[in-house]
Structure 1
Amino acid sequence: MLIESRPCSDPELVALVSAQQRELREANRPLASVGASFPTRDDVSYLVGVVSGRAVACGAIRSIDRTTAEIARMYVRPAYRRRGIGRQLLDALEELAYQAGHSVLRLETGTYPPSAIALYRSSGYTEIPVYGEHVGNPQSACFGKRILISA
């Protein structure tokens, strides 16, 4: 898989985020308040996973402050799941955050599907209190991880 940085206006990225939002709606999971406007944010760094010339996965890093970044919009098209693509993308997002000088990562995911939570836990993330616009949403699960930045 090739992982590429893409601008927020990239049509393949927008299509992936739209597919993610559609899947969330079908699962009756309320979208975060950033919802449909998220792909147009210029303060977010986006990565796209490409397999055989097709964009099949996406994810983003948003800087919260000098030390903290949020991983968001992790999505793998259903036909490409269970191939390690999500883990490769998560690793690339962590590296992007590391290169930007962040030492703390956090993310929000739904309590569905359990495979997303398993991915985060197996990658060293631990559950943290629900934060921000996710407070009060019983379908939210939040995770955090410290990454070591060498001197």
Structure 2
Amino acid sequence: MVIEERELGDAELGTLLDAAYAELVARYGPQGRSQVKPGARYLVAVVDGGAVGCGAVQDADALTGELKRMYVAPAHRGRGIATALLGALEELALAMGHQRLRLATGLRQPEAIALYERCAYVLTEPYGSYVGAPLMRCYAKAL
């Protein structure tokens, strides 16, 4: 597996993002599509020459990055790709100058919750549009 940075216009990244959006909408309805800010940086996990997973880091504030669009194609889950991708995203966040990484996920994504908790993310107060959203859970980790 190789993890590499890709630009938003990349075709394989676009396919992964479309699949991620479709899964979010299937689990939560149209409100599952939160926005990614311009300037977010994307990483793609490549296995046997094909893109199988992605994630992004965007600025939340000067010291905090926000994890977005963490996704691994269903056929490639359970192989450690998400864990490796998350580690690479944490390294990217550090390189961007962040001391902390935050994220939001939902109760209908128990596999994501398990990943983040296994990787030392701690439950934190909801932020932004997630305040008052009963299905959402917010996590953070000092890097």
Q: Deviations over 1:95-137 (max 9, x none)?
A: 0011122111100011122111111011110000111111222
Asked whether the equivalents of residues 25 and 33 of structure 2 are also in contact (C-alpha less than 8 Å), the reply is: no
What RMSD over aligned residues (CA atoms) do the two structures have, in Å? 1.2
Give 2:85's aligned amino acid.
Answer: L
- After superposition, the Cα gap between the structure-2 partners of 1:57 and 1:33, relative to the gap in structure 1 and judged at 3 Å, is closer
Q: Percent identical across equivalent pairs?
A: 46
Amino acid at match of 2:22: R
Partner of 2:80: 84
| Worse-superposed segment, 57-66 or 129-138 | 129-138
Gaps of 5+ in 1: none
Q: Secondary structure at the match of 2:32?
A: coil
Aligned-partner residue type, residue 112 of structure 2: A
CA distance in 2, matches of 1:113, 1:64: 23
Looking at structure 2, the residues matched to 107 and 113 of structure 1 have their Cα atoms a distance apart, in angstroms, of 13
Within the candidate set 135, 138, 142, 1:142 is matched to 138
Give the stretch that moved more between structures: 61-70 or 21-30. 21-30
Q: How does 1:10-21 map to 2 (within 5 A)?
A: 10-21=10-21
1:69 maps to what in 2? 65
- Does structure 2 conserve the Cα–Cα contact (< 8 Å) formed by 1:32 and 1:134? no
Compute the TM-score of the two structures, normalised by the length of structure 2: 0.94
Quick one: distance in 2 between partners of 1:61 and 1:45?
5
CA distance in 2, matches of 1:134, 1:19: 22
Aligned residues: 142
Which structure 1 residue ranges, 4+ long, deviate > 3 Å from structure 2? none
Task: After TM superposition, give the deviation of residue 32 of structure 1 in Å.
Answer: 4.0
* 1:122 correspondence with 2:118: yes
Give unpaired runs (5+ residues) of structure 2.
Answer: none
**Normalising by structure 1, what TM-score?**
0.89
- The equivalent of 1:94 in structure 2 is 90
